[in-house]
Chain A
Amino acid sequence: MTVVASATAPRPGLRLRLSEFSDRRFKYLVIAPAILIILLIGLFPLIYTLLVSVQNISMTEEDTSFHGLVQYAALFRDARLWFSLLHTLIIAAIALPAELVLGMLMALLFLDRLPGRQIFVALLVLPIMIAPVVAGATWRLLFDNRYGPINQILGWFAGEPVTILWTINPHFVYPAILLAEIWQWTPFMFLLQLAALMNIDQSLTESAEIDGASYWMVFRRIMLPAIWPVLMIAVLIRGLDLFRLFDVVYALTQGGPGTMTETISIYTYDQGFRQFDTSYTAAIAFLVIVLLSIIVIAALRRMEIDR
């Protein structure tokens, strides 16, 4: 026993014991600055939010005495808040499956050998890297009712001039936001799923095909289970992004018409930086963090179970 240990471990010399001692300091020394900065920007806001949310500070008031849960009680009566959450969920509920399925179809299209595939993939992933607010601005130009190409193209199919006010007409604001969102992030789903599919052992799918399995069966029984973990992570990442959706909506509709497309982030921004309702905004921010934590914990649990 001792013989084996001394044969595999490095010779226990003075120098090594010294380095073990200094390692103990080293490992905390090198994480300290990063952790401190994360705490400053991550934990401070949380504590400060809690503190402000039990006070009563607004544009007209500067009341820092303890008010209990008054702000939180107000949350429940605030229809605009719950509608903004609903809008966020609606957008996520449509965009997420759409991106997932479109991305999957594209990944399957590019899975088999296709000369020049790398060039296609390189071009297709460009939207991911564009600033979301710039993507929103781009679609603002595309959707223009007079000078934008989208109404023009629709006009070709309709056979008559189309003049949809995409960012103003209540019937079209959601399709407009969803189109921009799905355009930008389908490539994300596509890229992750393509990578996952390409990691599958080809001999598995080939032998199934030789055994007479249909394409659907191969997909259902071999491909889908193999890429499932990646799918879950992709859905989690995109789901969290959609929960905080801000840039595209800001660029396209600013939450309008009225408050029709207001997401939770847009609403919080409005309360904090246009109405200056400080304490109330803090309460909303805290609610957002709580809701998000529930989502993340539930999602991670779910993934643990699946695994």
Chain B
Amino acid sequence: MTAASLSAWRGPRRSTLRLIARYAAAIVVTIVFLFPVYWLFMIAFKTPDEIFHAPPVWYPASIQFDNFAVLFKDRDAVTVGNSLFIAGCSTLVSMFLGTLCAYSLARFKTGGENLAVWIISQRMVPPIAIVFPLFLLYVWLGWVDTYYGMILLYTAFNLPYVIWMMRGYIEDVPIDLEQSALVDGCTRWQVLMRVVFPMVRTGLFATAVFTFVFAWNDFIFALVMTRSAVTTYPVQVTHYFGAQSNFWAKIAAMSMLGTLPVLIAVAALQRYLVRGISLGAVKG
């Protein structure tokens, strides 16, 4: 047997072994990364006896929804509604204003590259540095713990992201279509509504979901700017922390209520995930 045919014979078996090894590694890695999520979700379905059992119970004996029922009975679940309303409204406003601004930046090069870089740099400022003076402003204006105060806050916080991302998506659209629409007598507004928006609708959708998630997941702004009327769900989760012991079932159930919608949204977004989280730097 020649050396060539020997390696040809050994080849497939070695690659099969390699594939199996890679599968094993992939499964182990996935289990490690998913275990915390699994644990959190399982606690939400456990009875108090199962939660406070040493050694820990790895899965609940039966699925029961008492932990969630308590949240609705105590009206704590309202905080998820607050999150939904605030994140939803701020997403709509920032998407509308941000996309218009992005169109101007992309097509007319308004302000040149400098303006665009300044806008995205606004997102890099640490929240703690701006939340403190803003808090003083909000106290003075009486905007603390109000829906519109929170919506404006998240709109401003997300605008740089929306503008930056949508500028990239709009630049990807060939300019010819717009020009022929203009020649045909469309106004700029008509071009925007009938040509640009339909062309970038997937980008619009992906950016909107990320914008929503950023507002939905924010903790520090909500911690400072809400009291009781418009508390969002991440703040509510921390209300269940105790110095000596935690309200485990409530932490888990509330976290799950708040996390599940986001996970579903992201599952639908797989294709845009890379571009969305890398600020457009990687087109995936």
Which residues of A are in contact with B by a Cβ distance under 8 Å? 10, 15-16, 19, 22-23, 26-28, 30-31, 33-35, 37-38, 40-42, 44-46, 48-49, 52, 106, 109-110, 112, 114, 118, 120-135, 137-142, 144, 146-149, 152, 183, 186-188, 191-192, 195-196, 229-230, 233-234, 237, 240, 243-244, 246-247, 250-251, 264-265, 268-269, 272-273, 278, 281-282, 285-286, 288-289, 292, 296
Contacts and interface: CB of A to CB of B under 8 A. Distances in A.
B219 to A, nearest CB: 4
Contact of B56 (A15, A42, A148, A272): A148
A141 B248 contact: yes
A112 B188 contact: no
B241 A246 contact: no
B188 A26 contact: yes
B278 A230 contact: yes
A167 B270 CA distance: 35
Contacts of A240: 124, 126
B251 A137 contact: yes
A42 B122 contact: yes
B234 to A, nearest CB: 5
A109 B18 CA distance: 11
A45 B134 contact: yes
Interface in B107-133: 107-108, 110-111, 119, 121-122, 124-130, 132-133
Nearest to B279: A237
A126 B263 contact: yes
A60 B156 CA distance: 33
A285 B100 contact: no
Interface in B15-42: 19, 22-23, 25-26, 29-30, 33-37, 39-40
Nearest to A112: B22
B97 A133 contact: no
A244 B35 CA distance: 27
B256 to A, nearest CB: 9
B39 A141 contact: yes
Contact of B263 (A124, A129, A186, A296): A129
Interface string B254-284: 0100110011011100100110011101101
B246 to A, nearest CB: 7
A188 B157 CA distance: 21
What band does the interface of chain B fall in when counting residues whose beta carbon is under 8 Å from A?
35 or more
A142 B121 CA distance: 36
B58 A149 contact: yes
Contact of A37 (B29, B51, B152, B281): B152
B89 interface: no
B159 interface: yes
Contacts of B258: 131, 134
B56 A149 contact: yes
B136 A278 contact: yes
B126 A244 contact: yes
A235 to B, nearest CB: 11
Contact of B37 (A130, A148, A244, A278): A130
Given A40-B156, A268-B129, A233 B284 contact: no
Given A35-B101, A281-B132, A131 B179 contact: no
Nearest to B186: A19
B179 A10 contact: yes
B30 A138 contact: no
Given A37-B156, A48-B137, A27 B281 contact: no
Interface of B: 19, 22-23, 25-26, 29-30, 33-37, 39-40, 43, 51-56, 58, 97-98, 100-101, 103-105, 107-108, 110-111, 119, 121-122, 124-130, 132-137, 152-153, 155-157, 159-160, 163, 179, 182-183, 185, 187-188, 213, 216-220, 223-224, 234, 237-238, 241, 246, 248, 251-252, 255, 258-259, 262-263, 265-267, 270, 273-274, 277-279, 281-282, 284
Contacts of B122: 38, 42
A137 B30 contact: no
A285 to B, nearest CB: 4
B266 A129 contact: yes
Contact of B284 (A123, A152, A195, A281): A195
Contact of B26 (A19, A46, A114): A114
11 contacts: A19-B182, A27-B104, A27-B108, A31-B100, A33-B101, A52-B133, A109-B29, A114-B23, A123-B34, A131-B258, A285-B132
Contacts of A234: 278
A237 B220 CA distance: 18
Interface centre among B39, B53, B155 (most CB of A within 10 A): B39
A124 B30 contact: yes
A138 B39 contact: yes
A250 B134 contact: no
A254 to B, nearest CB: 9
Contacts of A192: 274, 277-278, 282
B251 A127 contact: no
Contact of A282 (B124, B132, B160): B132
Contacts of B128: 244, 246, 264-265, 268-269, 285, 288
Contacts of B33: 123-124, 126-127, 183, 186-187
B215 to A, nearest CB: 11
Given A138-B39, A288-B128, A49 B22 contact: no
